[in-house]
Amino acid sequence: WFYIERSDAGNLKIASNDRTWRHEFDGQQVSTGVWHTVACAVDTERRSVLVCYDGQVLPQVSLPADFSLFALGSDSANSSREILLCSYRAGNTFRGYVDNLTVYNRALSADELLLLYQVLSRRLEGVALELVDGSILRAKPLTSVIQVRTSFGVVEIALKKLKKMVWANDAKELSAELHNGDVVTGTIETKAIELSDSSGKKVSIDVSRIKSLTPCGLDVPADGRAGGGADPAMDSILEGFQE
């Protein structure tokens, strides 16, 4: 098995499950309480590992000459096809959230790993507003924070930390679900959401017209596929996609 983990020093670390091989990326801190993007390509034929961490392709790591995935070719080859968020051997458990988890049937190149990061990043460039009349408006936000009055006072919620915000029927009370799992409820203080339309023109949407707000992408469908041949390089990556 192959591990991606946070070291005791807080750095990104990759290792084999029997701990006979490991590599720690000094200076690549895995901060808690924030989202990180990590993509890893293990090429056993070339005995190399490539890692793209938060949009940066890290120096290539060489595998030992005798490195092998012991499950391959064994009786447990099929039963060992698991993605675990814990280590039975060490008794450790991952505490956090995982999104956009994808497995490919080949090792991606450095350029493909970087492209994959760029596509995932574009997903959060926009917001989808569900209006009270039932229509959906997708655009790039000019508003970066939303003010909410809670029982503890007025708090500012950054859009980049927001998973979804839903208004109650009176269009004032709302519930905001954050990426870290917190839920904030209260009364909306922000009067309008400022957007930029496709032509770059500024548009102001009064919050009384909004039913829900969800961060989303502008040019990438929900399944992440760059359809219509708009991104041939990304399409070539997706040809190797396996769930």
Task: Give, as one character, the DSSP assignment of residue 182.
Answer: -
Q: In what order do the strands lie in the sheet with 11-16?
A: 2-6, 11-16, 22-29
Residue that has been written with the tokens 């938060």 in this structure:
54
Question: For position 218, what pLDDT does the model report?
Answer: 61
Residue 204 gets which letter from DSSP? E
Amino acid letter, residue 229:
G
Count of other CB atoms within 10 angstroms of residue 82: 7
Three-state DSSP class for 62? strand
Secondary structure (3-state) at 19: coil
Say how far apart CA 119 and CA 2 lie, in whole Å. 25
Closest Cα partner for 127 from 227, 37, 212? 212
User: 103, exposed or middle or buried, with CB in 10 Å at 0-12, 13-18, 19+?
Assistant: exposed
Q: What is the pLDDT along the chain (243 residues), one digit of tens a residue?
A: 788 888 999 999 998 866 678 999 999 999 887 788 899 999 988 999 999 998 899 999 999 888 877 666 667 667 667 777 876 666 778 888 887 788 888 899 998 898 888 776 665 578 889 999 989 888 888 998 999 999 989 999 988 788 889 988 666 789 999 877 789 999 999 999 999 877 778 889 999 899 999 887 665 443 333 333 334 444 444 444 333
Residue corresponding to tokens 């917190």:
182
User: CA distances (Å), 151 to each of 3, 154, 185, in order?
Assistant: 43, 8, 9
Domains in the chain: boundaries: 2-122, 126-216
pTM exceeds 0.75: no
Rounded Cα–Cα distance for residues 142 and 162 (Å)? 15
The Cα–Cα gap between 115 and 44 comes to 22
